[in-house]
Structure 1
Amino acid sequence: MTSSGPLRVVLVDDHEMVVAGLKAMLAPFRGRVRVVGEAIGAEHAVSVISGLAPDIVLCDVRMQGASGLDLCRTILERDPQRKIVLLSVYDDEQYLFQALRAGASGYLLKKISGDELVRQLELAHTGVTVIDPTLAGRTADTASRLQSDEFWPGARQGLTQRESEVLSFMVTGLSNRGIATRLIVSDETVKSHLRSIYRKLGVADRTSAVATALREGIFQ
């Protein structure tokens, strides 16, 4: 609870059923948490959040159009103090690291119970970075291995192993068609990987991505 009452929460997901389920899950805890608004899809979320100024935004990681990670960055650019907790079905450390890099206050899995979700939201409101217990046990070991560069090139920047492969081919000068041929995937799949790579590296185009890879020494 805040000094003035229950935590004020806005829910963001692109499925109405998920939002309804979260509201039902949090309803028994209305003395500690109150859902003050909801947005179906990321495109409506910014205006809803700006208008309501909630204590916590609870947002799905993967949505159609802009992802929860994109939305997190957009919100924090406008209001760096806003607390955003990302909710996901993906028990994947790479998503966790991407969420933390985006500035999220936490990463929780959708299988979480209602009372645990409330407890984690309360912790996030106090400034604690909350991580689902399922992932927390693996995170320290993975983080230390990332620092030792034991994973694939680009893992520290949040790239998946396949994205790292695509970026390496870009550095060598292969075209999209050439990359698709080497990886035995479609041109559209390559373009999807490129969009994700640009977002994670914070660049807008192919030339900038290659320059960042070289400057950061991703491939040595």
Structure 2
Amino acid sequence: MGNQPLRLVMVDDHEMVLEGLKALLARFRGRVRIVAQSVTADDAEPLVAALDPDVVVSDVRLRGSASGLDLCRRLVESDPRRRVVLLSAYDDEQYLFQALRAGAAGYLLKSIDREELVRQLERAADGETVVDPSMAGRAVAAAARLQAGEFWPGAHLSLTQRESEVLALVVAGLSNRAIAGKLVVGEETVKSHVRGIFRKLDVNDRAGAVAVALREGIFQ
């Protein structure tokens, strides 16, 4: 990219995350520069079109009708040269695969070291496909299982492994609180997974999710 800093557009539906990323990257002004930020995919698209950044960095999950994956897909469809890196809190291989299918240039975790983040963004801008170092080995193993047809129930419907586990417990009749206790996670985390399940199965409630699970034979 020469001696000019990378020009970034940041997309995350939490203002505090955006401010944190700005502070995190402040010491790397000679290498990266945030030229714009947005909290929704719909607002991000015209910004990207107007500013033509080197890399768009977006969270996977965004408030509103479009996710980070949707944004990535739209941007790459409108310009195949567009470099989009998904920055996520979810270290789930299925999200990684969905990102790559959407045309992403990379999938990184929010826990990544700031020096490593800048390095990976530079690689993505140079045309490489980047994967968070902590996920690389597991992603290769998961890809091998996928190739062999060995994967979790519901993967063919784009459910992540954790969403599949949550759906199984929904089918079993457990409440969000009970699921949180079973999986040793917070209840808000369970609610987030349930919303993701509803969206992917195109249903509005738990009864609908159970009906799809049974109809599709997700759990034998």
Q: What do the CA deviations read for 1:117-146 (whole angstroms, capped 9, x no partner)?
A: 110000001111111111111111111111
> 1:117-136 to 2 correspondence within 5 Å?
117-136=117-136
Structure 1: gaps of 5 or more residues: 166-179, 199-208
Residue 62 of structure 2 corresponds to 63
Structure 2: gaps of 5 or more residues: 176-192, 203-211
Q: CA deviation at 1:67?
A: 1.1
> 1:88-167 to 2 correspondence within 5 Å?
88-152=88-152, 155=155, 158-160=158-160
Aligned length: 191
Q: Flag the 1:126–1:156 CA change in 2: closer, same or farther, 3 A.
A: farther
Between the aligned partners of 1:109 and 1:191, the Cα distance in structure 2 is 21
Between the aligned partners of 2:194 and 2:27, the Cα distance in structure 1 is 46
1:18 equivalent to 2:17? Answer yes
Between the aligned partners of 1:140 and 1:161, the Cα distance in structure 2 is 16
SS of 2:90 mapped into structure 1:
coil
For residue 173 of structure 2, the aligned residue among 162, 184, 187 is: 184
Q: CA deviation at 1:77?
A: 1.6
Between the aligned partners of 2:150 and 2:53, the Cα distance in structure 1 is 40
The letter for the 2-side match of 1:196 is K
Q: CA deviation at 1:185?
A: 7.6
**Alignment identity in percent?**
59
SS of 1:49 mapped into structure 2:
helix
Residue 205 of structure 1 corresponds to none
The letter for the 1-side match of 2:13 is D
1:74 equivalent to 2:74? Answer yes
TM-score (norm 1): 0.74
TM-score (norm 2): 0.74
Q: What do the CA deviations read for 1:84-109 (whole angstroms, capped 9, x no partner)?
A: 00001111111111111111100111
